[in-house]
Structure 1
């Protein structure tokens, strides 16, 4: 059995026991139950989960100059975050910034007092991860300040990636590709995986 853990922060693999690398990533899911897998070099992109709360000032829609529209600020922030990839990142350095959720306001006829953004970044080096964190925070804060609002930014980084075989010939559905609608996981694997992650943490 080979132990494998990939740190999400750096995108590099680490192992203290002998291991073998499967030919293709898709082979991971067909490995026998309890087999652990490690891949040399880059495996998955590092992922950051971010939440942004923008606070403005409530006013009537007829007097926008008396308020600070958090929805307007958030809209500019979404566009500006995308430009960090297209204009401030090398085209040969894989980086993704995605905003998948935007909520704002309580009524149709007043500038929003608050707006919330939620999204994720993907990067393949620690340098680009830290750079995107810094650029993203400064961009959102600057836009908020420009239009009279403030921004609170929270970053959440997963701890590690690991691949664990779940194939069991006694349960044919566990041998299907993981994106197949009939794919199933052998429940025994969940117990073993919990032990793996507990061992990594402690």
Structure 2
């Protein structure tokens, strides 16, 4: 859980489990022997799967939607985790991608501007490929390209609205928010010419 607490009554959430699963995959790619790594990643994937709804949406800490989330952000987190540990053809990933393809929205100047969710979405959609990636590429690309200031930073998201996100700390106009937005936007655009070794596939 937060601060790596092992006895938190909250029980964790898909967002932090997603980061842990990516870290575990990085450990595996070192070629070093990490005790219980297989057991850990399988338990993490089991947790994510338990949080998935029949629609393909994934809840924050259970199979329900709430707390500012519409299910698309964490569907992207879950899809990427299953892609890097299993494959894009895994049931959880396929259900999540179908849900995102149908429900995910992105408009920089409205409440539908959760950059954290789209940071994950661009990775899992480009891994998935096909018409889902083509539609998503059209959804996100110009929103990011057209909202960069000439000095390099990215404009404030949301248009004054509360962001539809679990945590929208990237939305502020202070130094932290600007830096966070620039990191997320840059990583999203890098998906065109970089690839995750964990997926085993390059992208153009």
Q: Same fold (TM over 0.5)?
A: no
Indicate the structure (1 or 2) with the bigger Cα radius of gyration: 1
**Which protein, 1 or 2, shows the higher relative CO under an 8 Å CA cutoff with sep ≥ 6?**
1
Measured against the shorter chain, the TM-score band is: under 0.3
Please identify which structure carries the higher strand content: 1
Query: What is the TM-score when the length of structure 1 is the normalising length?
Result: 0.22
Please identify which structure carries the higher helix content: 2
Query: What is the TM-score when the length of structure 2 is the normalising length?
Result: 0.22
